[in-house]
A = this chain, B = another copy of it.
Amino acid sequence: MNLKRYLPILQWAPKYGRSQAASDLVAAVIVTVMLIPQSLAYALLAGLPAQIGLYASILPLVIYAIFGTSRTLSVGPVAVASLMTAAALAPLAEAGSPEYVAGAVLLAIMSGLMLTMMGILRLGFLANFLSHPVISGFITASGIVIAASQLKHIFGVQASGQNLLTIGQSLILSIGDTNISTLAIGTGALVFLMFARKYLKPLLIRSGVGARSADIITRTAPILAVLITTLVAWQLRLDTQGVRLVGVVPSGLPELTLPSMDWGLWQQLAVSALLISVVGFVESVSVGQTLAAKRRQRIDPDQELIGLGTANLGAGLSGGMPVTGGFSRSVVNFDAGAETPAAGAYTAVGIALATLFLTPAIAYLPQATLAATIIVAVATLIDLPALGRTWRYSRTDFGAMLVTIFLTLAHSVEAGIIAGVALSIGLFLYRTSRPHSAVVGRVPGTEHFRNVLRYDVLLCPKVTFLRVDESLYFANARFLEETVMDLVISQPELKDLVLVCPAVNLVDASALESLEAINERLKDAGVCLHLSEVKGPVMDRLKNTELLSHLSGQVFLSTFEAWQTLTGSLVSLKKIA
């Protein structure tokens, strides 16, 4: 049972049949065709040699098929993680250098270790603290930065930068060096891909192709662009005209790569690896859950951490870059009929064959074509209407989103996501540190008690009833102390204070000490502290504490009982304004 939990392959492999194999194979062929240009392009985006993208699309897929719980998630290099890889490594080494490649491998290994550890410790809940507006703003801003960073390949100029400002500045300074042949290839590929995305599918459907097949054919447009521009570049010897090509890629499968043991480098990359891990995990899980739900399947987020973690370990050990579950590829995999993670393993075989036999052809692939596929791919990540939706729904959430977008665009991806998370948690802590509480009075003629600000109720100047609508724990313990003391100071006649606790599900050790302090301070001020409607489990815990043995007042089962015992003839009706 437990083995099945940690090795989800045991859940499906024993029942694996011929019809499933057929479905998986068809999906694998389609995903392979889609993944070849993507893995090359994302390696380029990360500043890495093209083959690193291919290496990251072999072993990780096989490992995920063993440890992952999503039936259809397509693991491999993705755009945002590639941008984050580039941002992490840019300060450390020159793009493409052996040190840079070693850094990418180390990022994959560290990210793998972190995700696996989080999975074993069941820390998947930590990802909850990447709120939707923060992640959505982050991905939109990353998409913009990625698209901007690829323009240099379209124009065939040298440019650099990790944010919109530095990239823009660098582009403007170098735009005079534009290479016309490169621009022709780049814009040609871009127009073709945009056309395919927008018009090919309706065209195919009108020609009688089924909607799903039309969609899948459309998704293979990038490989067509790659084939055509490679042929053109080879025929016209475009490299002699200054068009930058991918160049000679070593043929053959990746070899076992051991990570750098430079402890200083580990420390430098730790934060980046953590961010790549968490962002990748959040994206994978949300794609995985969406697809699983369509077939009434489920994924286990904690096991998903282990699946992605081991996949990244595999990526690093086979010389690849960080991987995660990609949105568009997973959807294609699902739509193409993949039924089990075996489809991923078949895809790995496809990529391995490509690495063995197609690499000579890749040498003539123009970088501008890959840049065009990246730009068209990330265009779908940019969701500006989400800004308006969030603004209309919640100003706080919009604030966190805007800060994330602004810092990602103007500073760096890491600053953007860290600020967004810190702001979300900060706002959350702030909100929970001020629980709702209300002074209540008796509704005349009943045994009910209601907020004095909303109802006409009976009050007694010597007794105050304070209802707390929240569990009491360290985050709001001090708030309670202040609320109570303010009440006591504002009512010099006060003799008894009743804490009405029907909504208190928990009193932690901090809140217990606060209650003890409140009890002592009220005693000093000549006021008795009483409790009413304390829930059973809370009372069980309080029973053996000093609070109850030193309590200056009593514990009442009902608030009405407290009212009858404590108030005398001084009761008067207070009407709300």
Contacts and interface: CB of A to CB of B under 8 A. Distances in A.
Interface of A: 125-133, 285-286, 289-290, 292-294, 296-298, 301, 389-390, 392-394, 396-398, 424-425, 428-430, 432-434, 436, 473-479, 481-482, 485-486, 488-489, 492, 505, 508-510, 512-514, 517, 520-522, 524-525, 541, 544-546
Contacts of A514: 132
B509 A133 contact: yes
A434 B133 contact: no
13 contacts: A125-B430, A125-B479, A128-B475, A128-B478, A129-B474, A131-B510, A293-B488, A294-B525, A389-B545, A390-B509, A393-B509, A393-B512, A397-B510
Instruction: Give this chain's copy count.
Output: 2
Contact of A128 (B126, B127, B474, B505): B474
Contact of A129 (B296, B429, B488): B429
A508 B128 CA distance: 13
Given A297-B489, A393-B541, A424-B474, A505 B131 contact: no
Contacts of A541: 393-394
A131 B521 contact: no
Give the one of A296, A434, A489, A522 with max B CB within 10 A: A296
Nearest to A506: B431
A297 B521 CA distance: 11
A375 B542 CA distance: 35
B296 A489 contact: yes
Contacts of A525: 293-294, 296
Contacts of A476: 128
A436 B293 contact: no
Contact of A485 (B289, B512, B517): B289
Contact of A544 (B127, B297, B392, B434): B392
Contacts of A429: 125-126, 128-129, 425
A interface SS class: helix
B521 A294 contact: yes
Contact of A294 (B130, B286, B389, B524): B524
A133 B475 contact: no
Contacts of A396: 508
Contacts of A508: 131, 394, 396-397
5 nearest A-B residue pairs (beta carbon): A293-B521, A131-B474, A397-B509, A132-B510, A294-B524
Contacts of A132: 474, 477, 509-510, 513-514
A429 B474 CA distance: 12
Contacts of A130: 474
Contacts of A517: 286, 289-290
A127 B476 CA distance: 11
A570 B425 CA distance: 45
A524 B293 contact: yes
Give the one of A398, A434, A509, A521 with max B CB within 10 A: A509
A433 B521 contact: no
A510 B427 CA distance: 14
A290 B433 contact: no
A298 B485 contact: yes
Given A433-B128, A510-B397, A521-B289, A296 B488 contact: yes
A501 B51 CA distance: 53
Contacts of A126: 429
A54 to B, nearest CB: 33
A129 B428 CA distance: 12
Contacts of A479: 125, 128
Given A296-B489, A394-B508, A475 B129 contact: yes
A509 B394 contact: yes
Contact of A482 (B301, B509, B545): B301
A207 B32 CA distance: 96
Contacts of A489: 296-298
A474 B524 contact: no
B131 A290 contact: no
A428 B475 contact: yes
A404 to B, nearest CB: 13
A283 to B, nearest CB: 13
A478 B127 contact: yes
Contacts of A475: 128-129, 428
A432 B429 CA distance: 11
